[in-house]
Amino acid sequence: MVNTKLHRFLGYGFLSLGLIAAASLSIQKPLNSQSCEVYMGQAVTGASVNVDRCSIRQVSDRSIDFTYYLGQMSIQAQAHCRENSWTTFHDGVTHRPQSTATQNMLNFVCDGYAGGGGMTNSALVFNPPSNVRTAPNGPILCTIRTQRRINLYGSDGAWFYTDACGSMGMIHNSQIRF
């Protein structure tokens, strides 16, 4: 009888410890606002495409080395901006954009490069509210409700790439002043 009670007590104790350990493992670390990863969208495979903006390094007037993530996989690559392509170092294969996300990736690396890890400029959102969208005239990612400075990472026509929402989005040039 004592043995049975002891086993139940120990069993519940270990079960409780197991649940606490499992819960602590499932707690996600909050995203660092200084993170180098910038979300570009989804690849044709459905995997997220992120660029490590801190990895961007110009190696010649025609090529820029950078690291990107396809889902959880880290890939080192070299952008060939004039050819609108990139080569992955691990297999030597040259790729061309197959999705908006991979085109955004190339635009971000090539147009946004200014020797500072992809950041070219900042601008003032001067007359809020101003919408940041997932693509030009696309769905709204977030709304900037106060006058403030935002980072810019290159442009596509009249639209500028920004991480003002915590992930890569686009804001129209009519909403910002340099």
Give the whole-angstrom CA distance, residue 44 versus residue 100: 9
Is residue 96's pLDDT more than 90? Answer: yes
The single-letter code of the amino acid at 1 is: M
Q: Which of 49-53, 96-100, 156-160 has the highest mean pLDDT?
A: 96-100
Is residue 15's pLDDT more than 50? Answer: no
Per-residue pLDDT of 116-159, as tens digits, reads 444 457 888 998 999 999 989 999 999 999 999 998 877 777 88
Contact call for residues 35 and 53 (beta carbons, < 8 A): no
Q: Quick one: tokens of 85?
A: 């392509």
CA dist 139 → 28, 162, 168 (Å): 27, 15, 13
The torsion angles phi and psi of 118, rounded to 5 degrees, stand at 95, -20
Least confident of 58-67, 70-79, 149-158: 149-158
76 or 159, higher pLDDT: 76
Structure-token match 């989005």, residue found: 169
- Average pLDDT over the chain, rounded to an integer: 78
5 or 155, higher pLDDT: 155
Give the whole-angstrom CA distance, residue 54 versus residue 57: 8
Q: What is the CA radius of gyration of the chain?
A: 22
Is residue 18's pLDDT more than 70? Answer: no
Considering the entire predicted model, what is its pTM? 0.52
Q: What is the pLDDT of residue 5?
A: 52
Task: Give residue 16's pLDDT band: very low, low, confident or very high (50, 70, 90).
Answer: very low
Q: What is the pLDDT of residue 132?
A: 95
Strand order in the sheet with 73-80: 37-42, 48-58, 63-70, 73-80, 85-88, 94-95
Contact call for residues 50 and 101 (beta carbons, < 8 A): no
44 or 122, higher pLDDT: 44
